[in-house]
Structure 1
Amino acid sequence: MAESYKKLSTDEARRIKLVMTDVDGTLLEDGDELIPEVTQSIQRLESLGIAVGLVSGRHMPELEGMATVLGISGPLIAENGGLAKLTANSDLFPLGYSREPAQRAFEKLQRLFPDSIRGRQDNEQRHIDIVLHYDSIPIDTLRTHINDDVELLDSGYILHLIQKDITKGTTLQRLLDDVIFSDITKDNVMVAGDAPTDDSLFKLFPASVLVQNPNLPQNWRAPLKQMTRYESDLSFGQGFAQVARHIIDLRENAS
């Protein structure tokens, strides 16, 4: 059960070497503009030697642009785990995932619901998942029509079709197994998110933070509180920033 971020101790703060954060609902409430508190807290974490990375359902070019603005040094994980880079300036990490299962599922749904299912324009910039709009069709109904090799993810903002067993958490673990992160273990990583698409992060990494997102239904938020270690008091970017400032204060006071 999540407890207040204020319970995070000095020893825990000193162990953190990498913060991986979701974007929409965690750093951003709506749109693409980061509030100053988020930018300042992330840059302060980096100045203390804590790398910050992004793990999101957004496509990689968006994350690369955000990473440049923020000046972060951590990994980028896009498309809900489907695509990854060790740093913003590195090549794509060889994950070996395929878009074919998602493509087959998307084409099937379009055949079944030709007037209701349509892809989003940014699918052209995606490599693994497919984002779709749907009109007046229950999500559970859509799920009955897709094969077992595909998952339909609801982020609370949009639907994603993606090859089964691809998650944010498993992809992050694969990156940490790379030699470049040989000095970082799960105990050195803090993850932050707001929605069910972040649950794999919460399950795999003990130092997890649930950032409040009041726009999501309570029946989504309650299970997440059961699997995360800490939660913010504030919502969206303000919530992330207050947790980051707490870590910064603990590190500075301990030095």
Structure 2
Amino acid sequence: MKNQPKLTVVGAGPGDADLITLKAIKALEQADVVLYDALVNNELLGYVNPDAELIFVGKRRGCYRYQQEQINDLIVARGFSHGHVVRLKGGDPFIFGRGAEEMEYAAKHGLEVAVVPGISSSLAVPAYQNIPLTKRGSSESFWVITGTTKQHQLSNDVALAAKSNATVVILMGMGKLSEIIQLFKAEGKNELPVAIIQNGTTPEEKIGIGTVDTIEEVVAKNNLSNPAIILLGDVVNHRQQLLQIQQEVALKEVV
């Protein structure tokens, strides 16, 4: 007997396969169909029910195997033909992942819906580089902003964030880096530390560290590009401070 039509939107985490949750693994084991994105680590497909259908619906900038409307229709069609559809998305599906839109569409068409949160790249990628988003004396809050809105424009929130003392994390913003930098320069934050981390938490991870004044040169020198996050704030300095502490301790141990 076919299972009850159901959609579970699952966060796969930022790239490192070990950062998926136990609840997510259980969902994959119970799936009848899995629709997965381009940023999902393929190792995670090893957890999928061996009898399930796997469908790659990956989306990258400028390359869409499926349009969002097609993915929505596929979720509903497979839900009624197969049963439990798992939509596996990179990071957290409720942070610029369109998971909420897919759940609304499925619910309107009669599917039961659920979500399994994932670890967002906005949190995990800086952490893997020993950069905290908050730190006493440096940052009391943080913004997580999309670099590109539905209208393909830079979010107006970036200008607001540039006026604050908060840590600013911008996802999908590399194509708008020059615009972002100009907004921070306009606020007199030329010396504010900036980190750009590409392919965070994966073996292909690359990082560039600079300031608002120098980061574009750093990006060019290190050939940094998408997928990457942009991080602006004094907390970026913690990475180097921690390294210096570790070096000092190591020297004392040698002496």
Place the TM-score, normalised by the shorter chain, in its bin: under 0.3
TM-score by length of 2: 0.28
Determine which structure has the larger helix proportion and give its number.
1
> Which protein has the larger Cα radius of gyration, Structure 1 or Structure 2?
2
TM-score by length of 1: 0.28
